[in-house]
Structure 1
Amino acid sequence: MDAVRQGVRQDAGQAFPLYIVAVAGLLFLAFAFFAVGQAAATRNSAQTAADAAALGAAQTYRDDLYRALRKAVEGDDDAWEDLLKAMGSPTGTACDSAQWFAGKNDADATSCTPDSWPTSFAVRVTTRGTVGDSIVPGTENKHASAGAKAVIVPRCTVRPAEGGRGPGDGGPADRKEPAKDKGKGMEKDKGKDKGKDKGKEKGKGQGPDKGKAPGKGKIELTCDGKPLTLDPAHLDPFPEPAGFFAVRLAE
């Protein structure tokens, strides 16, 4: 009986180190997974900051476009056509906004690159915080970086004014009169031509502009499939910035 008890004690003594090794292995795995989780959280934080910075830059640029567009329409400045395409406004304030939004998410914008066709802002950020201490060496000094790109998409296009068909589109201006080359007809035609030429010179530069209603200076647009008329003399109510331009993250 004593021999049996002694054998059991010896088995228990031999199994104890195995338990220690197993527990140590599990603890190591737990700390390793914790380190991976820390890194993933820091990486997600960087991506959130990059998205916010890119969208912030694009929205600021949209607001600048909106103000410039209204000013151009009020002043009858042809620059409104480029502005309507989301082009032509300075980009400095937009990139300043990118840094501000990155800072609000505990990161710094390391680059802000404006581009065109389509108008966009590509931003890269680096987190101010690090992954933190872990069983993986060097993580206490490791920062996360991420990038994002936001685009400004025009919602409106210029719509030709009613009856404003111009040369080259099959309108009356493109139809040629048959030549009259017989005696008396020639004299009549000369008189008609002189009258036409005088009329053309008199009316030069008075034709309807592209997208503007004849004689009224109104700008005819189509925004998301719906007609919109802007009257420089009566701009209130004026659509909001989102009515002219959409802002979204690029895929």
Structure 2
Amino acid sequence: MISAARSDKGQAFPIYIVMVAGLLFLALAFFAVGQAAATRNGAQGAADAAALAAAQRAREEWGPKVLAALTTSGGVDNIFQDAIVLADAQAEAVNFAARNHADLTGFEPHPGGTGQYKFTVSTTTQYTVGRSVIPGTEHKHGSAKATAMIELRCSLPPGSGGSGGGTSPTPTSSPAPTPTSSPTPPPVTITCDGQDIPVDPMPDLEKIFTVKLVD
């Protein structure tokens, strides 16, 4: 009887070893998945930061030009085609991707709707997932995309600004009035989110544009 019990224990021991080895492998596999997820999240964070940085830099450059366009006839149709501004936005995206230990691998500026402009960027992490029980992870980088939009929040109120301030009166044969000093014209205002804002001094750019991540 004692001999049989010892025999059972001897047969069970290899099973325990296999079970422990299997559990250890699963734990290492889950760890590798976690490493991959962390690397992917790092790439996404870098992409988000780069896209927002590009849009915010464009906002800084376009702000004064948009204000001038809003207070003159012609609107802002061609404002967003400034190649210098787009180059500066891309340089800012490169900078912020690098701050997050990633490389900018794609940069695509493109118009959105009226008064909108979008920047889509792609990033790849400078680091890899690292060694794990899953083959090839030591050479695997994280990659991600993000799009940020800069959107105009303002418009010129009807009857103000570059439209000339109204029509000239029709000449008549009445005697010329005694010359008087011209009244000071009212300040030009723009309407941002339903609120009238004077353009002199220049308002905060956050009141003119909104910058946000979009799908």
TM category (shorter chain) comes to 0.7 to 0.9
1:55 aligns with 2:52: yes
Higher strand fraction (1 or 2): 2
Structure 1 gap segments, 5+ residues each: 166-195, 201-213
8 Å CA contact retained: 2:131, 2:137 = yes
Give secondary structure in 1 for the equivalent of 2:130: coil
Aligned residue in 1 for 2:107: 112
> CA offsets, 1:83-120, max 9 Å, x none?
8x973543110010000000000000011111112301
8 Å CA contact retained: 1:69, 1:80 = no
Letter in 1 for 2:147: K
Aligned pairs (5 A) from 1:60-139:
60-69=57-66, 72=68, 78=72, 81-82=75-76, 87-89=80-82, 90-117=85-112, 118-139=116-137
Aligned residue in 1 for 2:203: 239
8 Å CA contact retained: 2:128, 2:139 = yes
Deviation at 1:69, TM superposition (A): 4.0
8 Å CA contact retained: 1:86, 1:245 = no
8 Å CA contact retained: 1:86, 1:119 = no
Aligned residue in 2 for 1:205: none
Query: Following the alignment from structure 2 to structure 1, what is the Cα–Cα distance between the partners of residues 91 and 32?
Result: 34
In structure 2, the CA distance between the partners of 1:114 and 1:125, relative to structure 1 (3 Å rule), is: same
In structure 2, the CA distance between the partners of 1:5 and 1:149, relative to structure 1 (3 Å rule), is: same
Deviation at 1:77, TM superposition (A): 7.9
In structure 2, the CA distance between the partners of 1:135 and 1:64, relative to structure 1 (3 Å rule), is: same
The TM-score normalised by the length of structure 1 is: 0.70
Bigger radius of gyration: 1
Deviation at 1:68, TM superposition (A): 3.2
Query: Following the alignment from structure 1 to structure 2, what is the Cα–Cα distance between the partners of residues 21 and 148?
Result: 45
In structure 2, the CA distance between the partners of 1:35 and 1:229, relative to structure 1 (3 Å rule), is: same
8 Å CA contact retained: 1:160, 1:220 = no
The TM-score normalised by the length of structure 2 is: 0.81
* Percent of paired sites with the same residue: 44
Aligned-pair RMSD on alpha carbons?
A: 2.9
Deviation at 1:67, TM superposition (A): 3.7
Moved beyond 6 Å, runs of 4+: none
Query: Following the alignment from structure 1 to structure 2, what is the Cα–Cα distance between the partners of residues 28 and 114?
Result: 46
Structure 2 gap segments, 5+ residues each: 164-169, 173-182
Letter in 2 for 1:144: G
Aligned residue in 2 for 1:154: 152
Query: Following the alignment from structure 2 to structure 1, what is the Cα–Cα distance between the partners of residues 158 and 135?
Result: 66
> 1 or 2 for the larger relative contact order (CA 8 Å, sep ≥6)?
2
Query: Following the alignment from structure 1 to structure 2, what is the Cα–Cα distance between the partners of residues 67 and 229?
Result: 13
Deviation at 1:80, TM superposition (A): 8.5
Kindly tell me the number of residue pairs found equivalent between the two proteins: 194
